[in-house]
Amino acid sequence: MNLPAPGVNLAPGGVACLVGDWTLARLLPAEASLAVALAAAAGAPGWDLSQVARLDSYGAALLWRSWGRRLPPGLILPPALAPSFEALARLPAEGVRAPCIRYRPGDGIRQLGVWVLGLLHHIHGVITLLGLLSLEMLQLLRGRSPWPWREFSANLYKSGVMAMPVVALVGFLIGVVLSYLSALQLRAFGADTFIVNILGLGIIRELGPILVAVLVAGRSGSAMTAQLGVMRVTEEIDALLTMGISPYLRLVLPKVLALSVALPLLTLWCSSLAILGGMVSARLQLDMSFHYFLSALPRSVPFANLLIGLGKGAVFGGLIALLACHFGLRVKPNTESLSANTTTSVVSAITVVILVDAIFAIATRSLGLPR
C-alpha cells in the first residue's frame, strides 16, 4: 500500500494539518524538512491529525517534542492515535535526577545487620537441604527408593574424569614452581634433602586438597548451580514435583555423593602429579635422583598425611556440591538471578573450603608430623 509522504499543511484559519504516513520508514528521509515545518507551525492556533494515515511511536515522539511535551490547545486527535500520546505523557520528564541519598550514622550498622541476616538465612537453607538429603539417604538405605546409580555415575564422570586433565596440568606446574623456589633457598643453607619434606607435607597434606577444591568449585560447582538454576527457570523442577519425583533424590543427592567421591580421587591425582613435578625440578636444580626422592618420601611424610588429605577432599567435595545445589535451587525465573547465584556459589564454596581447611589444620595439628 503506497501511502502519501508525511507533511504539514497550514489551513486558511492557521490550523496546522498533518497528512501522510508518520512512521519511522517515511520520516527518516524527510526528518530535517519536517523539523523546519513543525517549528514554523509552532504558533498555530490548532492542530489537525485527522488526515494522518499511520502514526508510530517515532512519529508521536517527534510531534511530542515539537509541542513542548504537552498536547497543544485546539488539537483534533482521532481516537486511534490517542494511546500513543497518552503513553508519552506518562513518561518522566527528561533531566530529572534521583534525589541525593545522604549517609546517616546508623546506615552502616543497618547494612551489617542485613548481611548477618542474609548469612543466617543461607546457613538455615544449607542445613535444611542437608536434612532433606539425610531423609532421602535414609529412604535409600531402607530400600524404599531405587538408588540413582545412573545420575551418580554421570556426575562422577563429569565432575571427576572430565576434570583430570586440568587438575594434572595445574598440579604438575605447581609442583615444579614450589620445588624450584624451595631449591633456591635450601641450596643457600646446604639443606637440599629437606626439599622432600617441604614438597611431601605441603602438597599431600595442604596444597593438594585446597588446589583441587578451588578448581572443582570454579568448574563443577558453577556448572551444578547453573544446571539447577536453568531447570528452575524452565520449570523442570516443578514438573518433577508434579510427577511425584523428588528433585533432591534425582538431582541433588547424586551430585553431593559424586563430588564427595571424586574429590579425594582428584586430590590423590593432583598430589601425585605435583610430586612428579617437584621431582623433575629437584633433579634439574639440585641434581637429586628420582630413586632417592621416592625412597625418602615415605620416611619424611607419614601415611597419616595422605589420610588427612583424602579426608579433606571428601569433606570439601560434599560442601562444594551442597552449596552449589543450595544456590541453584534459589534461582528465580530470570537471567540476572541465575548469574548472581552462580557467582555467589563459587565465591561461597571457596570461602567455606578455606575456613574448613583452617579447622582441619587446628584439629590435626599433632597428627602426621615426622618425629
C-alpha span between 211 and 197 (Å, rounded): 19
Instruction: Write down the pLDDT at residue 268.
Output: 93
Angle in degrees, 0-180, between the axes of helices 31-40 and 57-66, rounded to the nearest 10: 40
- The reported pTM is 0.69
Instruction: Write down the pLDDT at residue 93.
Output: 60
C-alpha span between 160 and 264 (Å, rounded): 10
Q: Which residues neighbour 87 within 8 Å (Cβ) at sequence distance 6 or greater?
A: 57
Residue 266 to residues 156, 181, 216, Cα–Cα distance (Å) = 11, 25, 9
Most distant CA pair in the chain, distance: 111
Burial class (CB in 10 A: 0-12, 13-18, 19+), 175: buried
Instruction: Write down the pLDDT at residue 303.
Output: 87
Please name the amino acid found at residue 110: R
Q: Is the sign of the CA dihedral 252, 259, 121, 227 positive or negative? A: negative
CA–chain centroid gap for 242, Å, is 28
What backbone phi and psi angles, to 5 degrees, belong to 16?
-85, 115
Closest-CA residue to 308 (of 229, 368, 232, 227): 368
Grid cell at residue 77:
486527535
Closest-CA residue to 67 (of 42, 49, 98): 42
Grid cell at residue 347:
565465591
Lateral strand order in the sheet of 16-22? 7-10, 16-22, 47-55, 75-76
Q: Which residues neighbour 161 within 8 Å (Cβ) at sequence distance 6 or greater?
A: none
Residue 43 neighbours by CB distance under 10 Å: 9
Sequence spans of domains, the chain = 7-89, 133-363
Per-residue pLDDT in tens (0 to 9) along the chain, 371 residues: 567 888 888 887 778 888 888 888 888 888 888 888 888 887 788 888 888 888 888 888 888 888 888 888 888 888 888 888 888 888 776 544 555 556 677 777 888 888 899 889 989 999 999 998 898 889 888 887 788 888 899 999 999 999 999 999 999 999 999 888 888 788 777 777 788 888 888 899 889 999 999 999 999 999 999 999 999 888 888 888 888 888 888 889 999 999 999 999 999 999 999 999 999 988 888 888 888 888 888 888 888 889 999 999 999 999 999 999 999 999 888 888 888 999 999 999 999 999 999 999 899 888 867 66
